[in-house]
Amino acid sequence: MVTIHNLTKSYGRFRALNNLNLHIDQGDIFGFVGPNGAGKTTTMRIICGLLQADWGEVYIDGVDALMHNDMIKRKVGYVPDFFGVYDNFKVMEYMEFYGSMYDLNGETLHKTILGLLDLVNLSDKQDAYVDGLSRGMKQRLCVARALIHNPKLLILDEPASGLDPRARFEMKEVLKNLGAMGKTIIISSHILPELGEMCNSIGVMEKGNLVASGKVEEITRRSRHSNPLTIRVLDNKDTAIQILKQTPWVEKISIRDDSIIIAFSGDDEEMSQLLSALVTGGVKVSNFHREPGNLETLFLEITGGAKDAR
Amino acid sequence: MLDKIKHIRKMNMNPILKKELRLGSRSIRIPLAVMFYDIVLAAIAVINIAVVSMGNRMAEDINFSGYLSVFQVIGWTQLGITMLIVPILTAGSIAGEREKQTLEIMLTTPKKPITIICGKLLASLSNYLIFVISSIPIMAIAFVLGGMNWFALLGYIVMVIVLAVYLGSIGVFCSSVFKKTIISIVMSFLLEGLILSIPFCIFFGVIIVVELVAEIYNDAMLNTAAAWWDPNFGILPLILTVHPLTGFFDYMMRVMNLTSISEILKSANCFGKIMPILANAWIPLNIICSGGISYFFLRMAAKSLNPLKKGKKKKIAAQNRYMQAQQKKPAGVPPQEQAQLYQPQQPPANGQATQPPVPDMNGITERLTQPDLPARQEQKESQ
Ligand SMILES: Nc1ncnc2c1ncn2[C@@H]1O[C@H](COP(=O)(O)OP(=O)(O)OP(=O)(O)O)[C@@H](O)[C@H]1O
Ligand SMILES: [Mg+2]
């Protein structure tokens, strides 16, 4: 659905995107994460034809987006990281205006709008002024607006930012429904765990490059392997340490109370070998586990340092 | 049948114009401004009539053509106000949309920038038109009292609208070039002043230069020619053809039965027979010139709105072709940029140096499994 090849964009001398490569399959819900200034918004704006790239290729649904940007406008719906609403408009009029921008009108447009408002749970707000909507409602209205021409690709720039947990949940529900409708969706966010729930694939961006990408399960499984292993022993701690020191995959050993925490680079197979070695060595193991994979820690790991993460 | 026509007309109406009209009808600002405007015009008209009537009474003889001056006074006042309000009405149009951040969203729709520009201009001009139309009854006093005909009034409205389109295009142009409404308003006044004064500057500049030259050489012939109304000089006012105000002046002078610029042109003895024809067609010519300049400004405005420039597209295509040709080299970046680009990403000595930083789509890139790449180290150090 979306293929980006060698995309580069500079603001003056500063290179915001640096030969970015990316592929998103049809029907994917793709989470785009990265610290502030990683270039997520820049990438999205280029895809929508709002920004000129320096070079590179962007294909959307087989169309070269950089060369034929007029052809992709009906394929893409964009929700920017700001609202962009007219204060004196009612919800219905706001939607009608954007419908008319796509040459839609009359009864069909009206029906489409009602359907979309229903989708984003704003049916009862049809006649309310946009001005008076809450932040979460405005955000959802913007999603409905971006869907007015039934685009194949929906791009959402930080749709959950500034929303309270409830509004965030509602937004998530909307996106889930859209995913079920078979739309390809790109979502950018700083909040990685949440993306993990919504998306089926994610890409981590840093300094204008994609540093990791893939299916969510794949990435969480990988990240699991870098988490420490906790072993609780009832006695024979010294024997246990002795055994651990002999095991090749154990990299670092630290002791906290009656637990031994080790950095372990082996896979699941090697983990079970270690456990049986401990047990046959006469160590009474009461707890042996690895922290579950966590996108947050993965994110910090990839982007290197907690300071950049938020 | 009527329904069908209505439907088609609805479809073809510029969506931005439609939106603006809808929003505008909610605001009380324009009606208030129009009311104030009409009160001022009416006051001026009443004072004028009073003065003319007083003169008539003293002369003990009614001079109806004196009431023509009502038309004149209102006409000139309206011209001045046009020059004042049109930039204000138009200069905020695109900049305001930008400030509300709705411009970006508009640009993601299939509507072309020129459609957005024209919609905005038409919306502003429709507001302006309310001012003009509301002033018609006041101007019509002139013909109730005699000395005017409807045709002259119609002509006046056409002329003032041509001028408004001209000034409006300049305003919209400034609005799309300058990001802030305030700056845009100031700049469109400046640009308006500049453009309106340049032809006059050339005109009088040439006259002054000729006069000076005549003075220095004491040339009698040149000296007489230096008078701008001199027939020999007839070609010079032609410069003013591009100037929308002169068309307006010419029209007003004709209505007032004064010697108009085109009369002077007619008697000029250059270009042979073409000159009289030109002179007769001067006002239409002037309108066409104004239209052309307006079109130019609107095009420029649309161009500045369009985020993707045509020339740049060709450049990208060329660059991409070049990069494809360079595929074997690391990621095919132009040589002069390679060093700067890849330094941070090159792993020290594990044989990865020739691989471009293309992520592995099915898994994770090297960064994850080899956490100690220089880029990360750098970052840690900098913290
Ligand atoms: N108009 C601009 N002029 C100059 N630099 C810009 C401009 N827009 C973005 N940048 C720079 O480009 C880089 C990438 O910006 P971008 O907005 O794409 O980041 P982002 O990943 O969306 O960040 P955030 O998470 O904060 O939204 C930033 O370092 C930013 O400073
Ligand atoms: Mg951003």
Atom of ligand 1 nearest to the CA of A40: 21
What is the rounded distance in angstroms from the CA atom of residue A74 to the CA atom of residue B109?
7
CA contacts within 13 A on the Cβ side of B91: 22
Residues with CB under 6 A from ligand 1: A 11, 14, 16, 34, 36-42
- Total domain count for chain A? 2
The answer to whether residues B226 and B204 touch, using CB atoms and an 8 Å cutoff, is no
Residues A96 and A58 in one domain: yes
B356 and A19 in contact by Cβ < 8 A?
yes
Q: Which residues pair with A7 in a beta bridge?
A: A20
Tokens of A241: 């340490």
Residues A16 and A123 in one domain: yes
Q: Enumerate the domain spans of chain B.
A: 16-306
Among A51, A206, A7, which residue's Cα sits nearest to residue B344?
A206
Q: Which residue has the tokens 């309206």?
A: B78
Over the range A71-98, which residues count as b (16 or more CB within 10 Å of their CB) and which as e? ebbebbbbbbeebbbbeebbbbbbbbbb
Last-in-domain residue among A205, A222, A239: A222
Q: Which residue has the tokens 């009380």?
A: B28
Q: Cα dihedral sign for B88, B90, B91, B96? A: positive
Tokens of A6: 């060698």
Its domain, for residue A244, covers: 228-291
Tokens of A5: 């090849």
Residues A235 and A160 in one domain: no
What is the rounded distance in angstroms from the CA atom of residue A308 to the CA atom of residue B383?
10
Examine residue A306 and state whether it is found in any structural domain, yes or no: no
Residues A118 and A242 in one domain: no
CATH code, domain with A61: 3.40.50.300
Nearest to B111 among A93, A101, A145 (CB): A101
Residues with Cβ within 8 Å of A219's Cβ and at least 6 positions away in sequence, in order, are A202, A212, A293, A295, A298, B364
Phi and psi at A79, nearest 5°, equal -115, 105
B303 touches chain A (CB under 8 A): no
What is the rounded distance in angstroms from the CA atom of residue B2 to the CA atom of residue B32?
35
Q: Find chain A residues with C-beta within 8 A of B336's C-beta.
A: none
Nearest to A88 among B11, B23, B357 (CB): B23
What is the rounded distance in angstroms from the CA atom of residue B325 to the CA atom of residue A4?
18
CATH code, domain with A284: 3.30.70.100
Residues A207 and A244 in one domain: no
The pick from A8, A42, A79, A157 for probing ligand 1's pocket by mutation, whose C-beta has the most ligand atoms within 8 angstroms, reads A42
Examine residue A302 and state whether it is found in any structural domain, yes or no: no
DSSP A291: P
Interface test with B, best of A211, A216, A303 (most B CBs within 10 A): A211
Residues with Cβ within 8 Å of A157's Cβ and at least 6 positions away in sequence, in order, are A40, A41, A44, A78, A79, A80, A81, A188
Using one digit for the tens of pLDDT, what is the confidence trace for B312-366? 778 888 888 887 777 655 444 444 443 333 333 333 344 333 444 444 444 433 3
Examine residue A285 and state whether it is found in any structural domain, yes or no: yes
Residues A215 and A270 in one domain: no
Total-model pTM:
0.78
Residues A93 and A202 in one domain: yes
Q: Which residue has the tokens 């010079």?
A: B236
Mind listing the pLDDT tens digit of every residue in chain A (310 residues)? 899 988 999 998 899 998 899 899 998 899 988 888 889 999 999 999 899 888 888 999 988 888 888 889 999 999 998 888 888 899 999 999 999 999 988 899 999 999 999 988 899 998 999 989 988 889 899 999 999 999 999 999 988 877 888 888 888 888 888 888 889 999 998 777 777 778 888 888 888 888 888 887 777 666 666 677 888 888 878 888 888 888 887 877 888 777 888 877 777 788 888 888 888 888 888 888 877 656 666 666 666 543 433 3
ipTM rounded to 2 decimals = 0.78
Residues A234 and A217 in one domain: no
Examine residue A301 and state whether it is found in any structural domain, yes or no: no
Q: Find chain B residues with C-beta within 8 A of A50's C-beta.
A: 104, 107-108, 307
Residues A124 and A160 in one domain: yes
If you count residue pairs, one on A and one on B, with CB atoms under 8 Å apart, how many are there? 144
What is the rounded distance in angstroms from the CA atom of residue B278 to the CA atom of residue B281?
5
B361 touches chain A (CB under 8 A): yes
Q: Which residues pair with A90 in a beta bridge?
A: A129
Q: Which residues pair with A213 in a beta bridge?
A: A203
- B49 Cα–ligand 2 center, Å: 65
Residues A138 and A87 in one domain: yes
B88 touches chain A (CB under 8 A): no
Residue type, A45: R
Q: Find chain B residues with C-beta within 8 A of A203's C-beta.
A: 359
- A11 Cα–ligand 1 center, Å: 9
Residues A80 and A56 in one domain: yes
- SS3 category, A80: coil
A89 and B107 in contact by Cβ < 8 A?
no
Tokens of A231: 């072993």
- Listed by number, the residues of chain B in 93-122 with a beta carbon closer than 8 Å to a beta carbon of chain A are 100-102, 104-112
Last-in-domain residue among A202, A222, A242: A222
Find the closest chain A residue to B10 by CA distance: A105
Ligand in closest contact with the CA of A9: 1
DSSP A129: B
Residue nearest to atom 1 of ligand 1 (CA): A11
Left (φ > 0), alpha (ψ -120 to 50) or beta: where does A39 sit? Answer: left
Within 10 A of B366 (CB to CB), how many other CB atoms are there?
18
Looking at chain B, the number of H-run helices and the number of E-run strands are: 18, 0
What is the rounded distance in angstroms from the CA atom of residue A250 to the CA atom of residue A245?
7
Nearest to A102 among B105, B109, B371 (CB): B109
Residue type, A160: A
Residues A6 and A64 in one domain: yes
